[in-house]
């Protein structure tokens, strides 16, 4: 129960924020909590090594938890605790959760008792989602390629078993964690719908329910409805009969040095896509300041103060009246099993700004991709007087941009002609911010210096199409939709090599070596290189491609593109980041690899670009993650929504350490490329840590591990999938790696 002092403090804080939201939180001196609790964990056979000790409290202004791991003698130290009453308990593989004991900071030699699980089923309740998903058995390889409902039942677009697995991950894991307690069981479906008698019937119903029901049912049909239902039903039936996965390994080595801190943010149906804590090029920006997350479903900027342990949310404005700004979230196709016919992210009552991804600039402003108006573009986006529009006119965009300045507590809306999805700042003097367009073959940018000086969106905006110089003449072809009829000079190659099939009316239908290629890729992510003028992105067009974009000295006519096909056995790149040497890293979400691409190794970049992406196979290195594999396959069950490179050694694992989001394994996965060894930064509570990204900040470069941390958030569409169920809130998560498990 909160103390009277905590109540008074919270009221005072909320009143101040109502007038000055965020104004006192930017770059203020650190005042970290320094309380600690120490003790030991004993089991029936002696000390319990490599188990988690969890301290949780509701006394702070928002719910707070700290998690550490015991050393080889079962000892633990919970550091940096604010003054509060804590429930302290033990969770570990092979155990059942211990009964919580009450403690306050300053408690020493706290004795906790661990109890061994009596059955494999009891022990497996705390295994991460990928352990359970590994029990799923995809359709056999001889079921492919799919020949449709009148043939083998597999979807006509399903080319191979890997392609089917790619659909499972790219289309299902895209929204939520697979293998968690809710997804691996249909008990709640059968209870809610007693007329459904089999697991297959339950799966068919659940895949059409709720705000994402239409999307899920489309995936089911694309996979091949009947064979896919058989796979899912077989999975949940075997689990219902008592099948369990092998136990994951307990934390060991440096994994026992990890300290995890969690705060509640948002509400029980916030869809918070991602968070940001600092400027990636200057990681001391916003030191000790707020962590910012974007709630796509509610159109809000969610703010966490990690010093005061408090949180609030701000509505992101739109330029047009809200009722005129369309929402991308459809009404439920079938009633949700959790919220009925309630449209969780409807417009109205919720704000349609739909922010997707936040980033901080050097001034501490929070830039976001967000929707500010209806889809129809301003006239200047297709006006031939604008050189970019003359080259590639754009008539509509689904999302634009905005930024929030904590110093003035104001939002600024920035229109763009291209649709925005992710954004990243370059390290150039003008602090150019690049965007990828998920819905088309465009990459765009805003020159923030020009915008700050002129406030002119048209002057600050630029964009290019993706054009391959396939004839090698050094001149790229003007996009087909800007040419007069009969003048088209575009090669549209077969979809099997990754370039869209089907030429526009009047264009060349057959290969002509004199023509360049316009690649009709939807680019999922974007990252500028710190060492040259390249901007990189990825596309999930199976099996996936890395895209290199260069503006040249006179964009858009000087813009050119190169594509590099993901080599076997990899598929489905989603995230992209880059190290200080210009080596690009991409998380292969489908095949569960972290892949690097070093353009310096390429031997065939000069001359004609290859439209099939086969250039520079030698530039790739693939590192498969170490988790359990889907039954009967060589593909791990984990899913890597995104990845990040620790350019500044914030984690303490080394400069340029690449880290993948273990979105199915409740973890962040750090790779040592020299040893090919993985370090798992696990979040054991609450289960369901589904992260879409991460970043890192240095609050005090002289404070060792206490002055730096990585940050991520629970980014699932459906926060009621998290342990605790309906009513559970989203969370911001902080990771620190101390020199030993007892450092405090």
pLDDT digits (tens, 9 = 90+) for 76-119: 999 999 999 999 999 999 999 999 999 999 999 999 999 999 99
What is the pLDDT, as a whole number, of residue 312? 97
User: Distance (Å, rounded) from C-alpha 463 to C-alpha 262?
Assistant: 39
What is the pLDDT, as a whole number, of residue 609? 86
Residue 639 Cα distances to 16, 271, 307, 571, angstroms: 42, 19, 32, 12
Phi, psi of 639 (to 5 degrees): -135, 135
Q: What angle do CA 259, 260, 264 make, to 5 degrees?
A: 155
Dihedral class, residue 266 (left if φ above 0, else alpha if ψ from -120 to 50, else beta): left
Largest CA distance in the chain: 83
18 pLDDT above the threshold of 60: no
Q: Are 73 and 47 in contact (CB under 8 A)?
A: yes
Give the distance, in angstroms, between the CA of residue 527 and the centroid of all CA atoms in the same chain: 15
221 pLDDT above the threshold of 70: yes
What's the whole-model pTM score? 0.93
Token pair belonging to 178: 């697979």
Q: Considering the chain, what percentage of its residues have pLDDT values greater than 90?
A: 81
Residue 730 Cα distances to 213, 227, 313, 709, 712, angstroms: 22, 35, 13, 19, 11
504 pLDDT above the threshold of 60: no
Residue with tokens 């633990």: 76
More confident residue, 342 or 62: 62
Contacts (Cβ under 8 Å, ≥6 apart) of 425: 279, 280, 281, 359, 361, 367, 431, 432, 433, 434, 448, 528
Token pair belonging to 432: 């150019």
pLDDT tens for residues 544-582?
A: 999 999 999 999 989 989 999 999 999 999 999 999 999
Contacts (Cβ under 8 Å, ≥6 apart) of 340: none
Phi, psi of 259 (to 5 degrees): -115, 125
Q: Are 739 and 257 in contact (CB under 8 A)?
A: yes
Strands 75-81 and 545-550: unpaired
User: Distance (Å, rounded) from C-alpha 110 to C-alpha 52?
Assistant: 14
Q: How confident is the model at residue 31 (pLDDT cuts 50, 70, 90)?
A: low
Token pair belonging to 96: 């059942």
Q: How confident is the model at residue 510 (pLDDT cuts 50, 70, 90)?
A: very low
What is the pLDDT, as a whole number, of residue 332? 83
Q: How many CB atoms lie within 10 A of CB 504?
A: 10
What is the pLDDT, as a whole number, of residue 667? 98
Query: In the sheet that 620-624 helps form, which strands lie side by side, from edge to edge?
Result: 577-578, 584-588, 593-597, 620-624
263 pLDDT above the threshold of 90: yes
What is the pLDDT, as a whole number, of residue 329? 86
What is the pLDDT, as a whole number, of residue 39? 98
Go through the domains of the chain in sequence order and give each one's CATH number.
Answer: 4-116 (2.60.40.1120), 129-240 (no CATH), 353-465 (no CATH)
The per-residue DSSP string of 500-568 comes to -S-PPTTS--S--TTSBEE------EEEE-SSSSEEEEEE-STT-EEEEEE--SSTTTT-EEEEEEPPT
Torsion of CA 506, 512, 515, 516, to 10 degrees: 100
The per-residue DSSP string of 680-712 comes to EEE--SSS----S--EEEES-TTSGGGGEEEEE
482 pLDDT above the threshold of 50: no
More confident residue, 652 or 20: 652
Q: How confident is the model at residue 514 (pLDDT cuts 50, 70, 90)?
A: low
Contacts (Cβ under 8 Å, ≥6 apart) of 105: 33, 35, 36, 37, 81, 82, 83, 84, 86
195 pLDDT above the threshold of 60: yes
What is the pLDDT, as a whole number, of residue 439? 67
Q: Are 567 and 617 in contact (CB under 8 A)?
A: yes
User: Distance (Å, rounded) from C-alpha 227 to C-alpha 149?
Assistant: 10
Q: How confident is the model at residue 468 (pLDDT cuts 50, 70, 90)?
A: confident
User: Distance (Å, rounded) from C-alpha 627 to C-alpha 530?
Assistant: 32
pLDDT tens for residues 637-671?
A: 999 999 999 999 999 999 999 999 999 999 999 99
What is the SS3 assignment for 37? strand
What is the SS3 assignment for 340? strand
User: Distance (Å, rounded) from C-alpha 422 to C-alpha 88?
Assistant: 39
Strand partners, 670: 659, 679
362 pLDDT above the threshold of 70: yes
Residue with tokens 């590639």: 392
What is the pLDDT, as a whole number, of residue 383? 94
Average predicted confidence (pLDDT) for the chain: 90
440 pLDDT above the threshold of 90: no
How does DSSP classify residue 201? H
pLDDT tens for residues 617-628?
A: 999 999 999 999
- Comparing C-alpha atoms, which of 576, 580, 551, 558 is closest to residue 566? 576
More confident residue, 46 or 473: 46
Residue with tokens 């992105």: 537
Contacts (Cβ under 8 Å, ≥6 apart) of 319: 372, 373, 413, 415
Angle between helix 213-223 and helix 225-240 axes, rounded to 10 deg: 110
503 pLDDT above the threshold of 60: no
What is the pLDDT, as a whole number, of residue 11? 38
522 pLDDT above the threshold of 60: yes
pLDDT tens for residues 658-704?
A: 999 999 999 999 999 999 999 999 999 999 999 999 999 999 999 99
488 pLDDT above the threshold of 50: no
- Comparing C-alpha atoms, which of 277, 446, 288 is closest to residue 360? 277
More confident residue, 227 or 541: 227
- Report the pLDDT averaged over residues 382-400: 92
The per-residue DSSP string of 446-499 comes to EEHHHHHHH--HHHHEEEEE-EE-TT-SS-PPPPGGGSPTT---B----GGGTS
Residue 342 Cα distances to 207, 256, 338, 339, 578, angstroms: 17, 43, 9, 6, 42
**Helix count (H) and strand count (E) of the chain?**
11, 40
């Amino acid at each position: 129960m909160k103390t009277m002092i905590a109540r008074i403090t919270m009221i005072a804080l909320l009143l101040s924020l109502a007038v000055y939201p965020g104004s006192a939180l930017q770059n203020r001196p650190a005042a970290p909590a320094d309380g600690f609790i120490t003790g030991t964990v004993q089991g029936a056979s002696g000390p319990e090594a490599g188990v988690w000790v969890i301290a949780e409290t509701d006394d702070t202004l928002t719910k707070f938890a700290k998690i550490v791991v015991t050393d080889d003698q079962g000892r633990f130290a919970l550091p940096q605790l604010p003054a509060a009453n804590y429930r302290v308990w033990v969770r570990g593989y092979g155990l059942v959760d211990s009964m919580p004991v009450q403690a306050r900071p300053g408690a020493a030699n706290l004795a906790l008792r661990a109890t061994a699980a009596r059955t494999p089923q009891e022990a497996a309740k705390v295994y991460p989602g990928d352990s359970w998903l590994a029990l799923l058995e995809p359709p056999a390889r001889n079921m492919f390629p799919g020949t449709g409902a009148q043939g083998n039942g597999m979807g006509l677009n399903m080319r191979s078993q890997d392609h089917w697995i790619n659909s499972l991950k790219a289309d299902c894991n895209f929204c939520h964690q697979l293998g968690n307690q809710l997804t691996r069981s249909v008990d709640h479906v059968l209870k809610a719908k007693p007329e459904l008698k089999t697991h297959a019937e339950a799966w068919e119903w659940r895949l059409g329910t709720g705000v994402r029901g239409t999307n899920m049912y489309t995936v089911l049909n694309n996979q091949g409805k009947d064979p896919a239902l058989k796979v899912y039903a077989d999975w949940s039936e075997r689990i219902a009969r008592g099948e369990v996965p092998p136990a994951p390994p307990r934390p060991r080595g440096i994994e026992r040095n990890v300290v995890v801190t969690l705060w509640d943010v948002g509400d029980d149906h916030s869809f918070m896509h991602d968070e940001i804590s600092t400027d990636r090029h200057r990681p001391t920006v916003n030191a000790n300041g707020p962590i910012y997350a974007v709630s796509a479903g509610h159109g809000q900027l969610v703010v966490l103060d990690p010093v005061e342990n408090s949180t609030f949310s701000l509505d992101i404005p739109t330029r047009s009246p809200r009722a005129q700004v369309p929402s991308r979230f459809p009404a439920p196709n079938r009633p949700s099993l959790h919220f009925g016919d309630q449209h969780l992210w409807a417009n109205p009552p919720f704000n349609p700004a739909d922010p997707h991804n936040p980033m901080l600039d050097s001034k501490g402003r929070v830039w976001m991709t967000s929707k500010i108006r209806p889809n129809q573009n301003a006239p200047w986006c297709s006006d031939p007087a604008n050189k970019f529009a003359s080259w590639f006119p754009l008539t509509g965009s689904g999302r634009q941009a905005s930024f929030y300045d904590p110093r003035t507590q104001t939002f600024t809306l920035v229109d763009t002609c291209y649709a925005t999805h992710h954004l990243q700042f370059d390290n150039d003097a003008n602090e150019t911010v690049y965007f990828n367009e998920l819905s088309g073959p465009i990459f765009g940018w805003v020159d923030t210096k020009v915008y700050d000086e002129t406030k002119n969106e048209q002057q600050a905006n630029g964009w290019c199409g993706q054009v391959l110089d396939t004839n090698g003449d050094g001149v790229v072809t003007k996009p087909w939709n800007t040419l007069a009829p009969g003048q088209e000079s575009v090669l549209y190659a077969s979809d099997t090599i990754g370039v869209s099939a089907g030429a526009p009316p009047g264009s060349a239908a057959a290969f002509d070596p004199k023509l360049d290629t316009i690649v009709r890729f939807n680019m999922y992510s974007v990252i500028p290189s710190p060492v040259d003028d390249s901007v990189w992105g990825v596309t999930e067009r199976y099996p996936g491609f890395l895209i290199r974009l260069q503006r040249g000295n006179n964009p858009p006519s000087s813009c050119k593109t190169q594509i590099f096909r993901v080599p076997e056995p990899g598929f489905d790149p989603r995230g992209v980041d880059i190290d200080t040497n210009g080596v690009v890293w991409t998380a292969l979400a489908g095949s569960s690899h972290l892949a690097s691409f070093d353009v310096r190794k390429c031997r065939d970049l000069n001359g004609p670009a290859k439209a099939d992406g086969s250039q520079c196979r030698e530039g790739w290195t693939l590192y498969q993650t170490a988790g359990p594999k889907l039954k009967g396959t060589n593909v791990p069950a984990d899913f890597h929504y995104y990845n990040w490179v620790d350019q500044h050694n914030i984690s303490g694992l080394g400069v340029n350490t690449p880290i993948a989001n273990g979105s199915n394994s409740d973890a962040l996965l750090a790779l040592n490329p020299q040893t090919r060894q993985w370090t798992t930064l696990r979040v054991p509570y609450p289960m369901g840590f589904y992260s879409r990204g991460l970043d890192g900040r240095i609050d005090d470069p002289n404070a060792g591990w206490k002055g730096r941390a990585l940050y991520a958030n629970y980014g699932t569409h459906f926060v009621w999938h998290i342990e605790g169920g309906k009513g559970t809130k989203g969370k911001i998560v902080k990771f620190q790696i101390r020199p030993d498990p007892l450092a405090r």
